[in-house]
């Protein structure tokens, strides 16, 4: 893969996760478009990143703009809005495009994070059932803290677990991730593995709280 050929689009890309990944992939050479329901907010986010990068690298537009023409689309909206957003934009995805699902269904009870069980077993499987068949769904970046992604001067220094039912799509995403500094892509198997990954995120949120830290994340030991 030549990173300069990689076109990435972000749905709801104005949050910490979206801005952080837009900057990291853009500075690696990918062509990134930040999408949002508000073009104004997308423009502000892109301007902020371009200021950091020192040039006009990142594009912006509507979510439709971000999806169309992108080879890899990132779903960086909260889980609560994920299904409705995908349903709204089902027609916008190019055939054989890849959607990376970053969502984790979590609720907070007196400050304590709890995983929200879904009938399909995970958010990724829930969304898979709502996505056109011509789009590949890959779960990734589930366990990376959003504000760590946003701290662009900091290497991620962790493993990025990648799960999906299409080996080719998964390999493509893993290769794209390998361009991000400090991120080691790890093949986490079929999409069903999202059941583990999403719960690992909730576990990390709890570890953050108990140890008064901010960016608990994971590395696999024994894998070189």
- Which residues of the shown chain bind a second copy in the complex (CB under 8 A)? 114-115, 148, 157-158, 161, 186-189, 192-193, 195-197, 199-200, 202-204, 206-207, 210-211, 213-223
| Residues contacting 122, CB < 8 A, separation 6+ | 139, 191, 192, 194, 195, 197, 198
- Minimum separation from the CB atom of position 163 to a second copy (A): 9
Nearer to a second copy, 114 or 134 (CB): 114
Is the distance from CB of 196 to CB of 137 less than 8 angstroms? no
Nearer to a second copy, 97 or 193 (CB): 193
Beta bridge partners of 74: 10, 100
- Minimum separation from the CB atom of position 202 to a second copy (A): 7
Task: Quote the CA–CA distance of 129 and 120 in Å, as a whole number.
Answer: 9
Task: Quote the CA–CA distance of 115 and 122 in Å, as a whole number.
Answer: 10
Nearer to a second copy, 65 or 159 (CB): 159
- Minimum separation from the CB atom of position 120 to a second copy (A): 12
Structure tokens at 17: 């996760």
- Minimum separation from the CB atom of position 209 to a second copy (A): 9
How far, rounded to the nearest angstrom, does the alpha carbon of residue 78 sit from its chain's CA centroid? 11
Nearer to a second copy, 150 or 203 (CB): 203
């Amino acid at each position: 893969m030549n990173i300069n050929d990689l076109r990435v689009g972000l749905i709801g890309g104005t949050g910490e996760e979206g801005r952080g990944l837009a900057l990291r992939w853009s500075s690696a050479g990918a062509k990134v478009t930040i999408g949002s329901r508000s073009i104004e907010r997308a423009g502000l986010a892109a301007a902020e990143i371009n200021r950091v990068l020192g040039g006009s690298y990142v594009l912006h537009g509507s979510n439709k703009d971000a999806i169309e023409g992108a080879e890899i689309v990132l779903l960086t909206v909260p889980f609560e809005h994920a299904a409705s957003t995908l349903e709204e934009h089902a027609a916008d995805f190019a055939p054989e495009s890849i959607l990376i699902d970053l969502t984790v269904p979590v609720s907070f009870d007196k400050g304590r994070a709890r995983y929200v069980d879904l009938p399909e077993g995970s958010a990724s499987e829930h969304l898979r059932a709502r996505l056109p068949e011509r789009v590949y769904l890959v779960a990734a970046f589930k366990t990376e803290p959003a504000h760590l992604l946003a701290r662009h001067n900091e290497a991620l220094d962790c493993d990025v677990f990648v799960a999906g039912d299409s080996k080719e799509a998964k390999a493509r995403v893993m290769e794209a991730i390998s361009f991000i500094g400090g991120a080691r892509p790890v093949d986490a198997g079929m999409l069903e593995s999202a059941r583990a990954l999403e719960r690992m995120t909730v576990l990390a949120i709890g570890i953050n709280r108990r140890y008064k830290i901010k960016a608990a994340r994971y590395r696999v030991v024994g894998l070189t």
